[in-house]
Amino acid sequence: MPSFASPAPTPSFESPSSSPRKVLLVGWDAADWKVIHPLLDAGKMPHLARFIEQGVMGNIATLQPALSPTLWTSIATGKRPYKHGILGFSEPDPVTGGIRPITNLSRKTKA
């Protein structure tokens, strides 16, 4: 089994084939390669190792502040927080004057 401790190789892109290739985007909230690489090297994550061996892996640039609702909504919509409107875990409730949790109804754009 190859070691995963080194940076990801640069992907090579081939010319389009007659059949489209499927893409699986795996997003893992709070995942850290510093934790994952030793587990991969120890053979503790064989399914993830197979995904990596047959595809590509890498680090992703993030937005600040790195809050899950903001980041996942940006991934789902392709828009930055100021466009989609999700800025954190909660928002002011205009009816009660209190605070309410963010829901999909808080988005300003389609996902």
For 58-93, write each residue's pLDDT tens digit: 887 888 888 999 999 999 999 999 999 999 999 999
pLDDT of residue 36: 94
CB contact at 8 A, 52 and 9: no
Residue 99, beta-bridge partner list: 92
In a domain, 38, yes or no: yes
One domain, residues 4 and 35: yes
* pLDDT for 2 beyond 90: no
One domain, residues 4 and 25: yes
One domain, residues 37 and 74: no
One domain, residues 40 and 74: no
| Cα distance between residue 92 and residue 103, in whole Å | 12
Domain boundaries, position 22: 1-60
CB contact at 8 A, 87 and 81: yes
pLDDT of residue 25: 81
One domain, residues 5 and 52: yes
Total number of domains in the chain? 2
pLDDT tens digit string along 11-65? 555 656 677 888 888 888 888 899 999 999 999 999 999 989 988 888 878 888 8
pTM of the model: 0.66
pLDDT of residue 23: 82
One domain, residues 5 and 53: yes
